[in-house]
Structure 1
Amino acid sequence: MNKNYKDLLAAAHAVIETVPTDKAMGMLKDDNIVFVDLRDRRELEREGRIPGAFHCPRGMLEFWIDPESPYHKDIFAQGKTYLFYCASAWRSALATQTAQDMGLTPVAHIAGGFSAWKLNGGPVEDVSAK
């Protein structure tokens, strides 16, 4: 193995912005910020999500960002700041680096992920099962 997950995370953290949880909470009402939840649907239904967050499963991120992809989502072409999160900030760190490498800017992720958000008393909205 040339690189393990810790190596990949360290490389991502060297080039991305990490927003502290309390600062992210203060950004929630900002219309120029798009909170992007990268967790899978089961996690959302079990744990809830940050109110108003856009759900983008991690496996679809590259396809939804790329305007040339048949799966492109217009939300990624709005010229806003994209704030990614997952459960523990591992997937979001890698996703932030990928989005940045693809040219989506500005992008950042939430330190500690959704777990830290809840632990620090951040608001959570329920997500009903499909």
Structure 2
Amino acid sequence: MPLKKTAAQLVEQARQRIEEIETAALMEMVDDPNVVIVDIRDVRERQRTGYIPGSFHAPRGMIEFWVDPESPYHKEIFAQPDKKYVFHCASGWRSAITVATLQDMGFEAAHLKEGFGSWEKSGGPVERTEKKD
């Protein structure tokens, strides 16, 4: 059965209507207490490649529920009206779709345009955790 839209089309449509943050700009914001960086990658990606220091891990599959104050899964970190939320994934595709969805819900956020891969290649700080056997 042919798709009505491809994943690439969804990403492109999302990018046309959301705020995209360049890697260099987010590097300047990393220590800003008014910015919450949200990593939506799978936990195994974070373990394998590291993560942006101070970022909050929120797996992609739970975002809508963690952001929604009426959800039993709501996380208080998403209830700070004066914060700027910047979501990221590995390459900017999942985070673009995520931010578009959150925008549809009424939650304002931006995303790291080229993802964690660009962050790492640009020399952004990366924290690593020890692997657990």
CA shift, 1:111, in A, is 1.6
Q: Which residue number in structure 2 is paired with residue 98 of structure 1?
A: 101
Q: Which residue number in structure 1 is paired with residue 57 of structure 2?
A: 55
Map residues 8-87 of structure 1 onto 2, 5 A cutoff: 8-79=10-81, 80-87=83-90
CA shift, 1:56, in A, is 0.2
Q: Deviations over 1:56-85 (max 9, x none)?
A: 000000010000110000000011111000
Regions of 4+ moved over 4 Å: none
CA distance in 2, matches of 1:21, 1:37: 14
State the TM-score, normalized to the length of structure 1: 0.96
CA distance in 1, matches of 2:130, 2:94: 23
State the TM-score, normalized to the length of structure 2: 0.94
> What SS does structure 2 have at the residue aligned with 1:71?
coil
1:111 to 110, 113, 121: 113
CA shift, 1:99, in A, is 1.3
Identity, % of aligned positions: 53
CA RMSD of aligned residues (A): 1.0
Flag the structure with larger Rg. 2
CA distance in 1, matches of 2:80, 2:15: 25
Which consecutive residues of structure 2, in runs of 5 or more, have no partner in the other structure?
Answer: none
Q: One-letter code of the match for 1:98?
A: T
Q: Which residue number in structure 1 is paired with residue 126 of structure 2?
A: 124
CA shift, 1:127, in A, is 2.7
Which consecutive residues of structure 1, in runs of 5 or more, have no partner in the other structure?
Answer: none
Quickly say closer, same or farther: Cα 1:45–1:8, change in 2 above 3 A: same
